[in-house]
Structure 1
Amino acid sequence: MYDHIREDLRGFVSADIATRISIIQKDVWIDHRASDEIFRIMNNMADIPDRTNAPALLITGEGGTGKTTIISQMRRRVKNSNSLLMIDMAEDLNLGVKKNLKIELANALGLPANWRSGAQNGDLPSEIKEVIKLRKLWGVAIDEMHDALLRPKQEQRANLSILKRLLGPEYGLVLFCFGTGKARQALRSSFEFERRFYEVKLDDWTEDEKFRSFLLEYEESLPLKEPSNLYSKKMLDTILRLTGGRMDKTIDLIKAAACYAIKNGEEAISAEWLNRASKSPWSY
């Protein structure tokens, strides 16, 4: 029974409505080909022995294509990730202040940012190098990379200089950078950086086997008593029409539609519930 549901979740089918909705609304990681490729690349780069210039990976995609979700899985999926430094360059919305790459690097290392007067140049204090060697760090992951590059020319040059030094023989750190297409454009302004970064672009879903496989696996995480057949032609087309294939919109739509189905006692997602969820996702 309930072989359309993941085995570890089948017991929740008989739970009360509130419990089942809480299961549906939890974040769920579904492996798919694009993410598998990215983690495979990261692990292969992590295995590269010391050389003159370390490898660099740029993962690009517009908001909602799954970059943040991949970052959240790096500690679990990338080998020796405890020795991988994580930096988020997203602007502080509360303060309306753009972050400084050098200061964020120091903060991630637990160093006091007492060199703020020189924050706009590409020099790196000797303390940074010492801590990196002491902690045996092998790489740096930078989220919202475009926010570090779309700066006035002087600061942009300083940040590119920092990246160059991190990749070079002095530090030899592998770089995993995440950003929008604007990050790619900024890096292409320098031929040296364009050739150093290997890029993987996260695209929206389309009607293909990859998307069908994703929908099949996602449906297995929903404690609904009846199969919804999200991967069927009719359901897939409806989902693409309502979401444009954007990852976050797709997941939010399915979650809301599943909640509608449970609340209304139908126990399966239908095109009706998908349309209702698209118009009013929180009215179930």
Structure 2
Amino acid sequence: MTSVQDHLRPEARAALELPQPERIAFCRADRWVGYTRAEQILRQVDDLLLYPRSLRMPCLLIVGRSNNGKSSIVEQVLRRHPYIVKDDGTPGFSISWIALPATPTESNFWSEVLWSRNISHRVQERPDAKRLAAIDAMRFANTRLLIIDEMNHLANAGKEAGKLLAGIKNATSALRIPIVATGTQTAIHAMRSEPQMMTRFEPIVLDRWTLNTEYLRFLASYEQLLPLAEPSQLASRELAPLIYGMAGDVIGGTVDVLKELAVFAIESGVERIDISLLTKFKKTRLPDWEDAARRA
């Protein structure tokens, strides 16, 4: 291998010198590659953290298909704003993050909030008691933002949905903090059951990806993170349509394919992703659900 690979970022260049199992692990590790829509959302979240406390705080609902980047954006928010403790031992500010249970109730929601703050409690405790304990815990931690993942599970709450949303609204009003919720399209329909919550939330859509300039820019950026000794030119006219056709219109699918293509290139000893490798990969590595269904 040459000593300088200008097509790689420094961390990927350094990974070229690792033993093969570690290079493969590097390929499969999660990496953040900013793209226009994600950076816009991150800036909006930053604005929420600076928003002056008021009785009616603005909130965001990030909506997109499964595997289209919602969780990665939330993870990036948490990385950019880690828990801070002042010199005197008191909390600077924090972000509370929970995932809405698959069948949410007011009771198990507040349990999730308490557990997120590492607070033991009796699960059978009354919901109103847990709500007060959760509010106290978030107030003590100087919580400035509540993130609720999987808001689409609200559709499974049935008659509990109204109680749950009312409890969330009252708590955030008491704390005067904004909410960032994420979910699939189902979350939009579920939120419509509570008009007051709809007026507080601004829906932000993570659109399905198309084979456009933004997609090509993402491919070019991600290539810089794959420890392959030779450039692949993933955003080229020859490769980009093939990758898009294999990965589909969600960003998670593209990332998964790129990770495994890089691993396949390392295992094959070719040190680049080209059309020949793509053809072999498609035949040997891409999951075939139709074939699985026929054979099962």
| Alignment TM-score > 0.5, same fold | yes
**Match of residue 63 from structure 1:** 66
Matches within 5 A, 1:213-224: 213-224=217-228
Distance 1:116 1:26, change over 3 A: same
Q: Distance in 2 between matches of 1:13 and 1:241?
A: 29
**Match of residue 102 from structure 1:** 110
1:131 maps to 2:137: yes
**Match of residue 12 from structure 2:** 9
**Match of residue 175 from structure 2:** 171
Contact kept, 8 Å, 2:162 with 2:193, in 1: the verdict is no
Distance 1:79 1:15, change over 3 A: closer
**Match of residue 211 from structure 1:** 215
1:50 maps to 2:53: yes
1:146 maps to 2:152: yes
Q: Give, in angstroms, the shift of residue 116 of structure 1.
A: 3.1
After superposition, give the CA deviation of every residue in 1:149-185 in whole Å (9 maximum; x if it has no partner). 43112x10111101211332x2212101111111111
The amino acid across from 1:130 in the alignment is: D
After superposition, give the CA deviation of every residue in 1:209-237 in whole Å (9 maximum; x if it has no partner). 21111111100011112111111122111
**Match of residue 97 from structure 2:** 86
The amino acid across from 2:5 in the alignment is: Y
Distance 1:172 1:222, change over 3 A: same
Q: Which has the higher mean CA deviation after the structures are superposed, 156-165 or 274-283? A: 274-283
1:181 maps to 2:189: no
How many residues of Structure 1 are paired with residues of Structure 2 in the alignment?
A: 274
Q: TM-score, normalising length from structure 2?
A: 0.83
Of 159, 167, 170, which aligns to 1:162? 167
Q: TM-score, normalising length from structure 1?
A: 0.86
Q: Distance in 2 between matches of 1:188 and 1:278?
A: 42
Q: Distance in 1 between matches of 2:104 and 2:153?
A: 7
Q: Give, in angstroms, the shift of residue 3 of structure 1.
A: 0.7
Q: Distance in 2 between matches of 1:232 and 1:44?
A: 37
Q: Distance in 1 between matches of 2:134 and 2:275?
A: 55
Q: Distance in 1 between matches of 2:126 and 2:180?
A: 25
Unaligned residue ranges in structure 2 (runs of 5+) = 85-92, 288-296
Q: Distance in 1 between matches of 2:271 and 2:205?
A: 36
Q: Give, in angstroms, the shift of residue 249 of structure 1.
A: 1.5
Identity rate of aligned residues, in percent? 26
**Match of residue 73 from structure 1:** 76
The amino acid across from 1:11 in the alignment is: A
What SS is found at the alignment partner of 1:200? strand
The amino acid across from 1:107 in the alignment is: W
The amino acid across from 1:189 in the alignment is: S
Distance 1:54 1:11, change over 3 A: same
Q: Distance in 2 between matches of 1:194 and 1:41?
A: 18
